[in-house]
Amino acid sequence: MDTYTIATFLILLSAVFGYINVKFLKLPNTIGLMLITILYTLGVLALSYFDNTLLNAEIEFIKQIDFRTVLLDEMLSFLLFAGALHTNFQQLKVQRWPILVFATIGVLTSTFLIGGTMYYVLQLLGMNIEFIYCLLFGALISPTDPIAVLGILKKAGAPKKLETKIVGESLFNDGVGVVVFLTIFQVASSGNFNPADVATLFGQEVIGGIILGLILGYLAFKMIKSIDDFEIEVIITIALVMVGSLIARKLHLSAPLAMVTAGLMLGNDTSRNNSMSETTEMYVDKFWELVDVLLNAILFVLIGMEMLVLVFEGKYILAGLLAIPITLLCRYVSLLLPINFFKKKLDFVPNTNLMMTWGGLRGGISIALALGLSQDMHREMFLVITYIVVIFSILVQGLTIEPLLEKLELKSDKPTNSHH
C-alpha cells in the first residue's frame, strides 16, 4: 500500500471516530478516539470468529505502517512544536527549575525505580529477564505524554501553576526520555557500558538539540518580524519544523528538544508581540492547533489499531496489570525530592505530587519506543505491558483527572484560554 492510501485510511477513521465521539460520547478528543478505536478493533476481532477477511486486511494494513518511524521521526516534531507554541512562557519561566529537574533527574530516577521493580516482579512471575531490558522498559514508560496531557488538563480546568508544571515537564521529558532510552538501548545492544561514551551521546543529543532549536527559532523570529504576511509567516513555521527535524536527524541531535525550544522561542509573549501582527498570531495559532488535533487523532487511532499485532499471553497481561501501580508509585517517588525541594520557594499548589502523578499520562511515545525493541529484548512482552499501562493511563487517569481536581478543590472556576 502506498503512503497516500495509508494516510487516507487513517484520516478517514479519525474523521468518522471523531464524529462519533463529538456527537455521542462527548469525551476529550484523545480519550474518545482511543476508546472508539479500541472498541472498533475488538469488534473486528469478534467478527473474525465468523469471517476473518477484515481482520487480515487490518493486520496487513498495520504491518505496512512503521509506527515508530512515523511517530518519532515524523509526527513528534510537529506535535511538540505545536505544544510548545501554546505553552504559557511566563509561567514556564517562573517554574523553569522544577520543570528542568522533573524532566531530567525525575526521568532518570523513575527509569531506575521502574526498571528495578519490574525486574523483581518479572522474576516472581517466573520470567527471567535481564536487568538491562527491564531498564529499557523503565526508560520507555517514564516520559509522560504532553499530547495527551494538554487537552485533558485544559478541559478539566486545572490551576495554571499546576498545568504549567505538568505540561512543561512532559514537553521536555519526552526529549530526555527518548535520549535515555536510546542510550540504554545502545548499551543493551552492544553489551558494553562506557560512561564516557554515554555522557557524550547524552550531551550531544540534549545540548545539541536545544542549541539547534535556539538557532532555528531565532532565524524564524527574524524572518517573521521583517515581513507582515500571515500566509508566508505560517509557511515559515512549517518549514522550521520540517528542516529542523531533518538537520537534527542528520547530526544525531534530539529533534524533540530542538522543536520544543524553537516553539517556546516563537510562542512566548515577547517574541509574539515583537514579530507578529494580530492576524498572523491568530492564523499561526489556529493552524498549529489544527495540526495538533489532526496528528493526535491519527496517533490515537493508530494506538488503538496496533492492538491487532500484539501477542496477548496470560503472563504478559498479568505483568502489564502489575506494571500499572508500579509505574504510578515510582513516578510519585521520583517526584518527591524535587517537589519538596522547590515547594517553599515557588508556592506550589497543594497535592502537586498527587496531581502530577495521576496527571502524567503515558501515550504514543512509550508505544513507539516499545515497538523499537528487538526480539531478543523481549519485544512482545514489553509491548503488551506498555500497551496496558498506556491504555489505563489515557482512559482511566484521563477520565478521572477532572473529578480528582474537584475532590482536592483545585479546579479553577472557568476553563482558561491557553494564552491570556
Q: 310-340 burial by CB neighbour count: b if 16+ within 10 A, else e? A: eeeeeebeebbebbbebbbebbbebbeebbe
414 within some domain: no
Q: Does the residue 235 lie in any domain?
A: yes
Closest CA to 182 of 373, 323, 364: 373
Q: Which residues contact 183 (CB under 8 A, 6 or more apart)?
A: 198, 201, 202
Query: What's the number of CA atoms in the CB half-sphere (13 Å) around residue 406?
Result: 8
What distance in Å separates the CA atoms of residue 369 and residue 376, rounded to the nearest whole number? Answer: 15
Total structural domains in the chain?
1
- Reported as a single tens digit per residue, the pLDDT across 175-212 is 899 999 999 998 898 888 788 888 888 889 999 999 99
pLDDT digits (tens, 9 = 90+) for 31-84: 899 999 999 999 999 999 999 999 999 999 999 998 888 888 889 999 999 989
Rounded-to-10 torsion of CA 32, 34, 39, 40 = 110
DSSP structure string for 66-85: -HHIIIIIIIHHHHHHHHHH
DSSP 415: P
Residue 28 lies in a domain: no
User: φ, ψ for residue 238 (rounded to 5)?
Assistant: -65, -45
- Alpha carbons 88 and 85: distance in angstroms, whole number: 8
Taking 70 as the threshold, does the pLDDT of residue 9 lie above it?
yes
**Rounded distance, CA 207 to CA 203, Å?**
5
Q: What CATH number is attached to the domain comprising 76?
A: 1.20.1530.20
Residue 156 domain-assigned (yes or no)? yes
* 35 in any annotated domain: no
Contact 138, 118 (CB under 8 A): yes
What range defines the domain where residue 233 resides? 67-407
Examine residue 26 and state whether it is found in any structural domain, yes or no.
Answer: no
User: How does 100-137 read in b/e, with b if 16+ C-beta sit within 10 Å?
Assistant: bbbbbebbbbbbbbbbebbbebbeeeeeebeebbbbbb
pTM attached to this predicted model: 0.91
Mean pLDDT across the stretch 250-270?
94
Asked if residue 146 is part of any domain, the answer here is: yes
What pLDDT, on a 0 to 100 scale, did the predictor assign at position 370? 93
Q: Model confidence over 372-415: pLDDT tens digits?
A: 999 999 999 999 999 999 999 999 999 999 899 899 888 765 54
In one-letter notation, the amino acid at residue 173 is N
Sign for the CA dihedral angle at 111, 178, 122, 328 comes to positive
For the residues 234-250, what does the mean pLDDT come to?
Answer: 97
Question: What pLDDT is attached to residue 420?
Answer: 42
In a domain, 39, yes or no: no
